[in-house]
Amino acid sequence: MTETDFQKVKVNQSRLMQSLHETCQWGTGERWGPAPTETGMARLALSDTDKQARDWFVETTQKLGCKTMVDVMGNIFAVRPGKNKDAPPTYAGSHLDTQPTGGRYDGILGVHAGVEMLRVIQELDIQTEYPVGVVNWTNEEGARFPKSMVSSGVWAEDIPLEDAHNLVEVGGSTATMKSELQRIGYLGTVPASYRSMPMAAHFELHIEQGPILEANCQKIGIVTGVQAYKWFTIDVKGRDAHTGTTPFSSRADALLLAARMIVHAQHVAASMDALASTGILQTFPGSTNTVHGHVRFSLDIRSPLDETVEALEATLRKDFDALAAGGPSLFAHAAPHGGVPLSVSWQTDTVSPATRFHPDCIEAVRQSASSVLNDSAGTLSRTITSGAGHDSVYAARHCPTSMIFVPCRDGVSHNPTEYCAPEDCSIGAEVLCQSVLRYDRLRAGGV
Amino acid sequence: MTETDFQKVKVNQSRLMQSLHETCQWGTGERWGPAPTETGMARLALSDTDKQARDWFVETTQKLGCKTMVDVMGNIFAVRPGKNKDAPPTYAGSHLDTQPTGGRYDGILGVHAGVEMLRVIQELDIQTEYPVGVVNWTNEEGARFPKSMVSSGVWAEDIPLEDAHNLVEVGGSTATMKSELQRIGYLGTVPASYRSMPMAAHFELHIEQGPILEANCQKIGIVTGVQAYKWFTIDVKGRDAHTGTTPFSSRADALLLAARMIVHAQHVAASMDALASTGILQTFPGSTNTVHGHVRFSLDIRSPLDETVEALEATLRKDFDALAAGGPSLFAHAAPHGGVPLSVSWQTDTVSPATRFHPDCIEAVRQSASSVLNDSAGTLSRTITSGAGHDSVYAARHCPTSMIFVPCRDGVSHNPTEYCAPEDCSIGAEVLCQSVLRYDRLRAGGV
């Protein structure tokens, strides 16, 4: 294909949006506006509504000339043949499952853009050099079965199949991923592995889930990688005490110490251009007139650089110990934490090293963005590091990968009001389509 | 009675402790040590075990020559006649109910010391000038029916009877105070009021529930009053956001702001010689990779002076607004809370003004402590302000009142391991006994 040919690759915005919204009849969530499409989504992985969305995906891609394959994690691979029939396909991929209070774009847009790509290819009767495909990954959100990106993780052979199959639904049920895969008819026979189901490349269109594109009036994020992160559970143990009778000097107030740690963690992270966040905080015993003896909180630290995450962790371990010992205070104003030392312990829950995407894929996205946006100066797009994890992280371990970000309103996601304007969805889908076709040309020896 | 007579007023330590521990068979709580008495207590107000303890109290005091009267709040007044039969009695009082994870001393010691006082008076065949009595107040803890000191509050006519009767048991039951009073047979007929059941004075022996006596190797706290306190519920509202994709500058992190407020509140309180504490903190939504959009926490501020409580509240209202606005930071290090303002709202839950006990009662306690401890220099006792509320707060509104504190191990209470050494229980009971007798003499015109 020539640059002129790429210019002809236009997605059909209304067809794309209609397809996306029609399938959101399965798992419709909370309403936030009066229009029919102004609801969130609650399509938990392997639920009845996820099965309906999967059935649609299989039927639609088969009608578009694809062969569909389902692996033992329920990942669905829809492949359209190329001139060279035996080589691995170039994939567009994302996920159809959502958070319980999710929106209509996170994951869903990426799969629908892949399907739109297949329609455009069929419509223009493009013969690709190699097969192209669309993959729907299972339980990316980790909301129902508590491990994010678990099925691409099994495909990458980073997560053992048995661990994944045995994941139990959150909330007291006994359903497992395996039992639910069986129940809805998506326990495939193909091994979930990059060896059995190789990918030549993986491109993923996704909403940014952050405010940067919108704030800069840019349309496309050319994603160069995913930042490193580590998750910890931190236990602070002091002593329950009566709020009325216990002077500050006699307290071992676990909540006060946790508060100082949370403030300090964000201070240190900011100074390193990293992120630190606490999303879960539990307190014991929890009575108005009792000083807390025990607080447990999550700490999520992130940076594009692994070494920054390591340095931040090391600093915080040292500083948290100093704060807990109640020795010379790091903060003059926090003097009330006087004489009674507390204990602090760390548990490492998740380690996710930084991912660097492949230069060839990044370049394909850059060229496509420039072409679609008619923006040779590159002012309407930017390179960006993904703050969140995606299936592309595991894909990147075994094939060239990149992602395409589009802006979402106020940077909001994992929320019913999550929103990406139709024209932005369409621009993103067109960049995805071109990127896959450009990579196909590259594989064939083109530039 | 002369000073020599008072010297003869000795309590029987083993009788006192045996009586206390025997009645702890009703509502025995969590075990913390191997000895039979090394358990906590879980004797919730108006439970079956509370009924057993009440039955024991009525039977025992009647055997000691008392007339017992039960009011419509289940408060039990045991009165031993004096020479002057018609005047109101001088009371020792406290409560037999406990926290669900309480100990053997909070409240219980005060009632048993009162009973021991009756035994000593009978044993020595003391004829008091006026009647003396022991009162057991209902549901002082507010643990089962959620209002502390509710029945002395009704007696003081500060809490309407209907409100108290309609208090519903915590935890989803439909039982009310009234229905439970009826069920266990303690819905008396006497109106609960200082008018129907007047008290000439009220003395209460109680464990300190704080570390001050123990830390100073002192045996008796001569309680001059109870500090003022106010309880608030504070809501901090920001915006949920993804921890990985949202830069600090775009966050409205309700937990970070709450953490800064908690640290700041304690800093300001310390500078005013007051207390500030957060015993309840709830976070929403609560997911490792989501910045909190909403945090609700309790704020408990206390000082012996009403005006200090007011000044502290005013300062914190102003400073919390400044912190929420994200304007010029009060704390240089908290700079990461950048541009996005949050909202903060206050709800006032409880206002308890400072209580000042009566000079006559305080003096009776001081003289008794000096006598019992053979400590004319007063080094083994100290005047002290109670940090916690007690039934004596309501008693003090309608009769001269004071309290006697004894040390408890590590200042711990509301905990199964709560402990007061037998010799300290005994010293306290002896000071209580002398204080009531000294006050009786004072009423008769003695010094």
pLDDT, tens only, A381-438: 999 999 999 999 999 999 999 999 999 999 999 889 999 999 999 999 999 999 999 9
Q: Which of A106, A99, A230, A94 is nearest to A151 (CA)?
A: A94
- What does each C-alpha distance from A367 to A91, A214, A392, B118 come to in angstroms? 18, 21, 20, 96
Write down the pLDDT at residue B447. Answer: 64
Q: Name the residue facing A244 among B239, B244, B387 (closest C-beta).
A: B387
Q: Report how far residue B399's alpha carbon sits from residue A117's, in angstroms, rounded to the nearest whole number.
A: 86
Nearest chain A Cα distance for residue B114, angstroms = 24
What's at A217, amino acid-wise?
Answer: C
Tokens 């799969």: give the residue.
Answer: A111
Contacts of B215 in chain A (CB under 8 A): 250
Question: If we measure between CA atoms, which residue out of A199, A252, A12 comes closest to residue B211?
Answer: A252
Residue of B nearest to A297 (CA): B288
List of chain A residues whose C-beta atoms are within 8 Å of the C-beta of residue B244: 209, 227, 229, 275, 300, 302, 386-389
Q: What is the mean pLDDT of residues A351-373?
A: 97
A333, B270: Cβ pair inside 8 Å?
A: no
Q: Tell me whether residues A263 and B245 touch, CB distance under 8 A.
A: no
Q: Name the nearest CA neighbour of B247 among A213, A378, A264, A417.
A: A213
Pairing outcome for strands B28-31 and A228-237 = unpaired
Q: Given this model, what pLDDT does residue A386 score?
A: 97
Q: How confident is the model at residue A335 (pLDDT cuts 50, 70, 90)?
A: very low
Q: Do A289 and B388 touch (CB under 8 A)?
A: yes
What was the pLDDT predicted at A333? 45
Q: Which of A261, A288, A320 to mutate to test the interface with B (most CBs of B within 10 A)?
A: A288
Question: What share of chain B has pLDDT > 70, as a percent?
Answer: 97
As to burial, measured by CB atoms within 10 angstroms (0-12 exposed, 13-18 middle, 19+ buried), residue A307 is exposed
Tell me the shortest Cα–Cα distance from A337 to chain B, in angstroms.
9
Name the residue in chain A with its Cα closest to that of B261: A259
Distance in Å, alpha carbon of B334 to nearest chain A alpha carbon: 6
Neighbours of A311 (CB within 10 A): 15
**Cβ(B92)–Cβ(B134) below 8 Å:** yes
Q: Is the pLDDT of residue A234 over 50?
A: yes
Q: Does A270 touch chain B (CB under 8 A)?
A: yes
**Biggest distance spanned by C-alpha atoms of chain A:** 81
Give the closest-approach CA distance of B336 to chain A in angstroms. 6
Q: Which of 349-368 (A) contact B at CB < 8 A? A: 349
What does the pLDDT average to over B5-16?
96
Is B10's pLDDT higher than 50? yes
Q: Angle at CA A284, nearest 5°, toward A334 and A240? A: 65
Q: What is the pLDDT of residues B30-80, one digit of tens each?
A: 999 999 999 999 999 999 999 999 999 999 999 999 999 999 999 999 999
Phi and psi of A345, rounded to 5°?
A: -135, 145
Task: Please say if the pLDDT value at position A336 is more than 50.
Answer: no
Amino acid code (one letter) for B92: A
The minimal CB distance from B281 to the residues A215, A255, A331 is found for A255
Nearest residue to B140 (alpha-carbon basis) of B182, B112, B110: B110
| A258 at B interface, C-beta within 8 A | yes
Query: Is B215 an interface residue toward A (CB < 8 Å)?
Result: yes
Q: What is the mean pLDDT of residues A282-298?
A: 91
Task: Please confirm whether the linkage preceding A416 is cis (ω < 30° from 0).
Answer: no
How far off is chain B from A323, nearest CA to CA, in Å? 13
Q: Residue B290: list chain A partners with CB under 8 A.
A: 279, 414
Nearest CA in chain B to A231: B288
What is residue B292's predicted lDDT score, i.e. its pLDDT?
Answer: 93
Closest Cβ opposite residue B240 in set A211, A287, A415: A415
**Given an 8 Å threshold on Cβ–Cβ distance, is B242 in contact with A209?**
yes
Question: Which string of DSSP letters, residue by residue, matches A360-423?
Answer: HHHHHHHHHHHHHTT-TT--SEEEEEESS--HHHHHTTTS-EEEEEE--GGG--SSTT----HH
C-beta separation of B410 from B213 below 8 A: no
Task: Report yes or no: A193 and A72 within 8 Å, Cβ to Cβ.
Answer: no
Q: What is the 3-state secondary structure (H, E, C) of A287-352?
A: CCCEECCEEEEEEEEEECCHHHHHHHHHHHHHHHHHHHHCCCCCCHHHCCCCCCCCEEEEEEEEEE
Lowest mean per-residue pLDDT among A129-133, B96-100, B326-330: B326-330
B171 touches chain A (CB under 8 A): no
Phi, psi of A367 (to 5 degrees): -65, -40
Q: What is the set of domains in chain A, with CATH numbers?
A: 3-226+354-443 (3.40.630.10), 228-352 (3.30.70.360)
Put simply, the answer to whether A245 touches B279 (Cβ < 8 Å) is: no
pLDDT of A337 strictly over 60: no
Banded model confidence at residue A334, pLDDT cuts 50, 70, 90: very low
Share of chain B above pLDDT 90, in %: 89
Q: Give me the residue label for tokens 């661990």.
A: A163
- Average pLDDT value for residue range B230-243: 94
Specify the residue for token string 């017992």. Answer: B68
pLDDT at residue B235 tops 90: yes
Kindly list the distances between the CA atom of residue A70 and the CA atoms of A55, A75, A167, in Å, as whole numbers in the listed order. Answer: 12, 6, 19
Query: Rounded mean pLDDT of chain B?
Result: 94
A289 pLDDT tier (thresholds 50, 70, 90): confident
B326 CB near a chain A CB, below 8 Å? Answer: no
Taking the alpha carbons at both ends of chain B, their separation in whole angstroms is 10
Question: Is the minimum CB–CB distance between B23 and chain A shorter than 8 Å?
Answer: no
**Where residue B225 falls among pLDDT bands split at 50, 70, 90?**
very high
* pLDDT confidence bin for B275, thresholds 50/70/90: very high
Q: What percent of the residues of chain B are helix, what percent strand, and what percent coil, each to the nearest 5?
A: 35, 25, 40
Which residues, other chains included, contact B243 with Cβ-Cβ below 8 Å and sequence gap of 6+?
A: A275, A277, A279, A300, A302, A387, B288, B289, B290, B291
Whether B102 and B29 have beta carbons less than 8 Å apart is answered as yes
Q: Is A377 exposed, middle or buried (0-12, 13-18, 19+ CB in 10 A)?
A: exposed
Cβ–Cβ below 8 Å for A336 and B266: yes
pLDDT at B287: 84
**Is the CB of B214 inside 8 Å of chain A's CB atoms?**
no
Torsion angle of C-alpha atoms A317, A320, A326, A332, degrees rounded to 10: 120
Whether residue B413 and residue A242 make contact (CB cut-off 8 A), yes or no, is: yes
* Beta-carbon separation of B279 and A289 below 8 A: yes
Over residues A176-182, mean pLDDT? 98
Determine the residue among B288, B406, B409 to mutate to test chain A binding: the one whose Cβ has the most chain A Cβ atoms within 10 Å: B288
Structure confidence at residue A218 as a pLDDT band (50, 70, 90)? very high
pLDDT, position B340? 86
Contacts of B29 (CB under 8 A, 6+ apart): B39, B40, B41, B42, B98, B100, B101, B102, B103, B416
Q: What is the pLDDT of residues A73-107, one digit of tens each?
A: 999 999 999 999 899 999 999 999 999 989 999 99
pLDDT at B261 over 50: yes
Residues of A in contact with B291 (CB under 8 A): 277, 279
pLDDT at B367: 97
Residues B302, B265: contact at Cβ < 8 Å?
A: no
CB interface of B with A, residues 234-253, below 8 Å:
239-248, 250, 253
Nearest residue of B to residue A286, measured between CA atoms:
B280
Statement: residue B328 has pLDDT above 70: no
Closest CA–CA distance from residue B179 to any residue of chain A (Å): 26
Nearest CB neighbour to A336, from listed B239, B270, B283: B270
3-state secondary structure of A90: strand
In the predicted model, what is the mean pLDDT of chain A? Answer: 94
pLDDT at A329 over 60: no
Tokens 């306690």 belong to: B365
% of chain A surpassing 70 pLDDT: 97
- Across the interface, whether the CB atoms of A334 and B267 are under 8 A apart is answered yes
pLDDT band for position B339 (50/70/90)? low
Contacts of B9 (CB under 8 A, 6+ apart): B120, B124, B126, B430, B433, B434, B437
Q: Is A283 on the interface with B (CB under 8 A)?
A: yes
Q: Which of B207, B245, B251 to mutate to test the interface with A (most CBs of A within 10 A)?
A: B245
Nearest to A295 by CA among A239, A337, A336, A364: A239
pLDDT at A447: 64
* Residue A209: closest C-alpha in chain B: B245
Q: What would the mean pLDDT of A233-262 be, rounded to a whole number? A: 93
Helix (H) or strand (E) holding B257: helix B254-271
Cross-chain CB nearest to B209 (options A215, A242, A260): A242
Q: Return the number of other C-beta atoms located less than 10 Å from residue A379's C-beta.
A: 11
Phi, psi dihedral angles at B233 (to 5 degrees): -110, 125
Q: Which of B259, B302, B335 sits opposite A259 (nearest CB)?
A: B259
A211: closest chain B residue by CA = B246
